[in-house]
Chain A
Amino acid sequence: MEITVKIFRYNPETDTRGNYVTYKIEGDENDRVLDVLEYIKGMRDGTLAFRRSCAHGVCGSDAMRINGRNMLACKTLVRDVGANITVEPILGLRIVNDLIVDMEPFFDNYKKMLPYFINESPLPEDGRERLQTVEDRARFDETTKCILCACCTTSCPSYWANGEYYGPAAIVTAHRFIFDSRDEAADERLQILAETDGVARCHTAYNCTEACPREIKVTKAIGEVKMAMMTGKV
């Protein structure tokens, strides 16, 4: 089948603004959008720039806007989006080259969440694992799936309006630790998220939940953080 792909192009060294270039290629409905981009880069225009690595939706490199929605190019098939495809960079982060954006602000927000396990209590005397019930483990299962692709954060209208907002992905990371029964720094993280640029900026648009390629119920997780903040109970 013929696939028509309209791609946002921006060369930072020569262009003052971006433009769209349309490519027509032969492909298959089972091709990933990433396969289509690889083919265009390989056979039509080597200068096309995008990130990718695992090619099956687990590394989080290739988040982009496909027909107006944030998706992973490797986890989106042509049959899901049709033969007319528009591909653009995710919104809210500086465009660096074509489909590549500057991820530093995104990771900076992640790093503000104390994104690591904190437990300064002594280990069990037998040196074995800290115990955790199946139920306690289940409380934060979903937020451990996050691959930091930024699909959620860059689909959030509050983030577009104010880039200082930590954003859904950072809150998902905080959630993963706040609700881990073994972790001891929930209060510190809740304090961070109680700041102006924390969860107060979430207006439950649900774009994040829709955008998440890992099917994390992001808005629900943010809601759980808000509730913990209000009740003081995790």
Chain B
Amino acid sequence: MANVHQFDVVVVGAGGAGLMAGLYASRNAKTAVISKLYPTRSHTGAAQGGISAALGNYEEDKPEWHMYDTVKGSDYLGDQDAIEFMCNEAIDAVLELEHMGLPFDRTPEGRISQRPFGGHTNNETGKPVRRAAHAADRTGHMILQTLYQQCLKNNVNFFDEYQALDFITVNGKTAGVMAVNIATGELHTIHAKSVIFATGGHGRIFEVTSNAYAYTGDGAAILLRHGIPLEDMEFFQFHPTGIYKLGILITEGVRGEGGVLINGKGERFMPKYAPTVKDLASRDVVSRAIYTEIKEGRGVNGKNYVYLDIRPETVNKFAVEDGRTNPDGSKYNLTAEQVLQKLPDIIDFCRVYLGIDPVTQMMPIQPTAHYTMGGIPTNKYGQVVIDDKNTVFPGLYAAGECACVSVHGGNRLGTNSLLDLVVFGKHAGLKAAEYAKTADFEKLPDNPLAESQARFESLKNGSGKENVFNLSTELKNAMFNDVGIYRNEKDMQSALNKVRELKARFKDVAVKDTGKVFNTELLNAWELGNLLDVAEVVAMSALNRKESRGGHSREDFPERDDKNWLKHTLVWNKDGKLEIGYKAVTITKYQPKARVY
């Protein structure tokens, strides 16, 4: 068999979680990181506002407050043992990034600077707390660069521009992955004791999204085909502030610095929906508020958008109304210069894509599909768990957005995604290396390429009646319109039917590119297959959950129903048919109560 490589640990994906996993695994085991993009192209680089930790660099803060805020933000669906673990690890995780050279912005004392973010509060006063450690509005970019650099320093083996196609499993144990070298079209078998999936989310199932083209749910789809369940896939985060129509993210840091949302009548509307923290409520709350304003006719010019306003005069006016002061108690006074300095990329996006200057003009925004709360079920060590009893699949790990630990539950707090990557990427890497020390290599099956080859062949040999671009457009529209911010039985059923119709029509796709070198047409078609598989699970999980919780808001079941639905959804693929099951939520310190901001 040609092109067989052997590593103790192979990591699939080179964003924040994959790089952190690779870095830690490589200290104790022979490790490879494969990625369909050059690592620095990964979507972690698009994260803007910050990474949270109760450093308390400006004001009092504690990990317990961070934990409570995260539990409340999750609408009590997050597993509290995992949340506590993450929030306790947060301080050391952020300090470790600084020790690796990450150029955080600084306080006047030279410490890591922090800004307020949605849902992060002082638990005694209920007011926003400065918890998000930041590097301007490119914190994710700096994390990605720093971790990649540290991997280079530590000689981690990279397979750049290798697309993982399949997971190899023998007798219920991990044996490696299959991948294609995109530059040559050659298939490679990577024989490994441990495999860590860190493949990111699947926001490309939605029409308006902040997510990269690469966000096609590859890891989740590959494992689903191997009988691994997916957890809580109905929970998808719509970020309140995407650039109108384009969906490009405008960081919550804008509101952290004092920006406010304004409707078509020129009114600031968040105080109606979240009287205490107002514009800094959780993302699900703010997205619903925007949608409600639009639905009730208060969008701008009757269209589907509202404004985000960071003009200093607006910010300073409302700072007085809200009683917001600087950490030393002095008057909060944002200047145009500070806006440029703290939010340079946001200013740049607005100038390039909208032709407006946020220092003097308001930004037209609408909610944008942003983050996958659900995913591959894991415990807090990144081990993939495959049933309601949390049975570990030997040698298989997942971390980052593709995983569901679950620390985000029904709704993720801003800045907790970057924290999740770093904390669980590290632990997945450590565990995977530890497992590799004691485990033996499984014998590879006779033809591990078979499944990947068959998929490629069928994509090349369809009737050609259908086209990837059209199918993809139909999928994104159906999911965005019918499994979006507000949901109901009829729409979700229609979306599920549509996804199934598209899956059937997908068989009639015929890729015309017969080349081997960068056959991106073939890979895009393969990725659409993943999007379809994942979208079916999302639509089905959403249709099944008859309550409203976090990012899952049903018009026909508007209340949270803890009696029947305080549980995780698990969906398995059993011979092509999806089956639903459940798993208990771990509750330790905080019993569910009404969620008010």
Pairing of A with B:
yes
Whether the Cβ atoms of A117 and B521 lie closer than 8 Å is: no
Per-residue interface assignment for chain A, residues 34 to 71, with 1 indicating a CB less than 8 Å from any chain B CB and 0 otherwise: 00001101110011011011111111110000000000
- A117 CB contacts on chain B under 8 angstroms: 100-101, 146, 149-150
**Quick one: given A56-B353, A116-B101, A137-B103, are A47 and B111 in contact (CB under 8 Å)?**
no
CB <8 Å contact, B213 and A52: yes
Residues of B within 8 A of A127 (CB): 92, 95
Proximity bits, B93-132, A CB within 8 Å = 1, else 0: 0010011110111111111100000000000000000000
A129, A144, A182 pick with most chain B CB within 10 angstroms: A129
Q: Is A103 an interface residue (CB 8 A)?
A: yes
In the complex, how many angstroms separate the beta carbon of A72 from the nearest chain B beta carbon?
10
Shortest distance between the CB of B56 and any CB in chain A (Å): 11
Known A107-B38, A137-B103, A144-B103: A116·B150 in contact at CB below 8 Å: yes
Task: Report the separation of the CA atoms of residues A116 and B45 in the bound assembly, to the nearest whole angstrom.
Answer: 17
Task: Tell me, in angstroms, the Cα distance from A39 to B348 when the chains sit together.
Answer: 25
Knowing A134-B106, A147-B141, say if A59 contacts B349 (CB, 8 Å).
Answer: no
Q: A58 to B45, alpha carbons, bound, how many Å?
A: 7
In the complex, are the beta carbons of A53 and B212 less than 8 A apart? yes
B306 contacts A by Cβ under 8 Å: no
CB of A111 closer than 8 Å to a CB of B: yes
Residues of A within 8 A of B214 (CB): 53
Q: Which of B99, B146, B518 contacts A100 (CB 8 A)?
A: B518
Most chain A beta-carbon contacts within 10 A, residue among B46, B146, B511: B46
Residue B517 lies at the interface, judged by CB distance under 8 Å to chain A: yes
Assess the B106–A132 pair: CB atoms within 8 A: yes
A162 CA / B381 CA spacing, docked (Å): 49
Q: What are 19 A-B residue pairs whose CB atoms fall within 8 Å in the complex? A: A13-B516, A41-B469, A41-B520, A42-B470, A46-B511, A53-B37, A53-B213, A57-B352, A58-B46, A58-B141, A59-B40, A59-B43, A119-B101, A128-B95, A129-B99, A129-B104, A130-B99, A131-B110, A134-B107
B520 CB contacts on chain A under 8 angstroms:
41, 49-50
Q: Which of B142, B353, B513 contacts A77 (CB 8 A)?
A: B353
Scan residues 97-125 of chain A and give those whose CB is less than 8 A from a CB of chain B: 97, 100, 103, 107, 111, 115-119, 123
The 8 Å CB contact of A59, one of B41, B101, B517, is: B41
B98 near A13 with CB under 8 A, answer no
Q: Is there a chain B Cβ closer than 8 Å to A145's Cβ? A: yes
- CA A60 to CA B213, docked complex, whole Å: 13
Instruction: With both chains docked as a complex, state the minimum distance between the C-beta of B96 and any C-beta of chain A, in angstroms.
Output: 10
Check if B563 is an interface residue, CB within 8 A of chain A: no
> Inside 8 A of A13's CB, which chain B residues have their CB?
515-517
Given A47-B512, A180-B101, decide whether A56 and B149 contact each other with a Cβ distance below 8 A.
Answer: no
One digit per residue, 1 when the CB lies within 8 angstroms of any chain A CB and 0 when it does not, for chain B 492-526 equals 00000000000000000001110111111100000
Is chain A's binding surface mostly helix, strand, loop or mixed? loop
A111 is contacted by which of B101, B104, B152, B472 (Cβ under 8 Å)?
B152
Q: Nearest residue in A to B512 (C-beta to C-beta)?
A: A46
Q: Render A173-211 as a binary contact track against B, CB cut-off 8 A, 1 for contact.
A: 000110010110000000000000000000000000000
A131–B212 touching, CB < 8 Å: no
Chain A residues with Cβ under 8 A from B443's Cβ? none
Report the number of A-B residue pairs with Cβ-Cβ less than 8 Å.
153
Chain B, residues 226-268, CB within 8 Å of chain A (1/0): the string is: 0000000000000000000010110000000000000000000
Give every chain A residue within 8 A of B138 (Cβ-Cβ).
58, 144-145
Q: How far is the CA of A131 from the CA of B570 in the complex (A)?
A: 46
- Tell me which residues across on chain A come within 8 A of B183, comparing CB atoms: 96
Are A183 and B101 in touch, CB under 8 angstroms? yes
Proximity string of chain B (122-163) to chain A, C-beta cutoff 8 Å, 1 when within and 0 when not: 000000000000011010011001100110110000000000
Confirm or deny: B434 has a beta carbon within 8 angstroms of a beta carbon on chain A: no
B92: which A residues are within 8 A, CB to CB? 127
B518: chain A residues at CB < 8 Å are: 49, 96-97, 100
Which residues of chain A are within 8 angstroms of B41 by Cβ–Cβ distance?
53-54, 59-61
Known: A53-B213, A58-B46, A61-B41. A131 touches B467 (CB 8 A): no
A123 to B95, CA, bound (A): 11
**Is B466's CB within 8 Å of the partner chain A?**
no
Given contacts A53-B37, A59-B45, contact A129 B95 (CB under 8 A): yes
Q: How large, as a class, is the contact surface on chain A? A: 35 or more
Contacts A55-B213, A111-B152 known; list 7 others, CB within 8 Å: A50-B520, A59-B212, A97-B515, A117-B146, A129-B95, A141-B136, A145-B344
Are A11 and B515 closer than 8 Å at their CB atoms? Answer: yes
In the complex, whether A133 has a CB less than 8 A from a CB of chain B is yes
Contact of B101 among A11, A100, A182 (CB under 8 A): A182
B145 to A, closest residue via Cβ: A144
Residue ranges of A at the interface with B (Cβ–Cβ < 8 Å)? 11-13, 30, 38-39, 41-43, 46-47, 49-50, 52-61, 75, 77, 96-97, 100, 103, 107, 111, 115-119, 123, 127-134, 137, 140-141, 144-145, 147-148, 176-177, 180, 182-183, 215
Contact: A12 with B517, CB < 8 Å? Answer: yes
What's the minimum C-beta distance from A145 to chain B, rounded to whole angstroms? Answer: 7
B contact residues around A38 at 8 Å (CB): 469
B442 at the interface (CB under 8 A from A): no
Bound-state Cα–Cα, A29 to B139, Å: 32
Contacts of A123 in B (CB 8 A): 99
B152 near A42 with CB under 8 A, answer no
Chain A residue at minimal CB-CB distance from B110 = A131
**In the complex, what residues of B have CB within 8 A of residue A61's CB?**
37-38, 41
CA separation between A189 and B260, bound complex, in Å? Answer: 45
CA distance A180 to B103 in the complex (A): 9
A43 to B467, CA, bound (A): 8
Quote the shortest CB–CB distance from A84 to chain B (angstroms): 21
Could you tell me the distance in whole angstroms from the C-beta of B497 to the nearest C-beta in chain A? Answer: 24
Partner of A116, one of B149, B212, B213, B352: B149
Q: Which residues of B contact A50 (CB under 8 A)?
A: 520
Q: Which of A41, A97, A116, A148 has the most CB of B within 10 A?
A: A116
A80's nearest neighbour on chain B, judged by CB, is B352
* Complex interface: chain A residues within 8 A of B104 (CB): 129
CB-CB under 8 A for A58 and B101, given A53-B212, A127-B95 = no
Q: A56-B353, A117-B101, A129-B98 are in contact. Are A147 and B149 (CB under 8 A)?
A: no
B89 in the interface (beta carbon within 8 A): no
B37 touches A116 (CB 8 A): no
Say yes or no: A147 contacts B45, CB within 8 Å.
yes
User: Does chain A have a CB within 8 A of B32?
Assistant: no
Picked from B40, B111, B153, B467, the residue with its CB within 8 Å of the CB of A60 is B40
Whole-angstrom distance from the CB of B510 to the nearest CB of chain A?
A: 10
Q: Which residues of B contact A11 (CB under 8 A)?
A: 515
Residue of A nearest to B99 (CB): A123
Nearest CB of chain A from residue B279's CB, rounded to whole Å: 23
Please provide the chain B residues from 338 to 389 with a CB less than 8 Å away from any CB of chain A in the complex: 344-345, 348-349, 352-353
| Complex: A144 Cα to B92 Cα, angstroms | 23
**Interface flag for B468 (CB, 8 Å):** yes
A177 to B150, CA, bound (A): 13
Cβ of A115: which chain B residues have Cβ within 8 Å of it? Answer: 149, 152
Whole-angstrom distance between the Cβ of A203 and the nearest chain B Cβ: 28
CB neighbours (8 Å) of B249 from chain A are 56
Of A54, A148, A177, which is within 8 A of B43 by CB? Answer: A54
Please give, as numbers and ranges, the residues of chain B lying within 8 Å of A148 by CB-CB distance.
38, 40
Q: Contacts of B469 on A, CB cut-off 8 Å?
A: 38-39, 41-43
**B residues 24-49 with Cβ under 8 Å of A?**
37-38, 40-43, 45-46
CB neighbours (8 Å) of B472 from chain A are 42
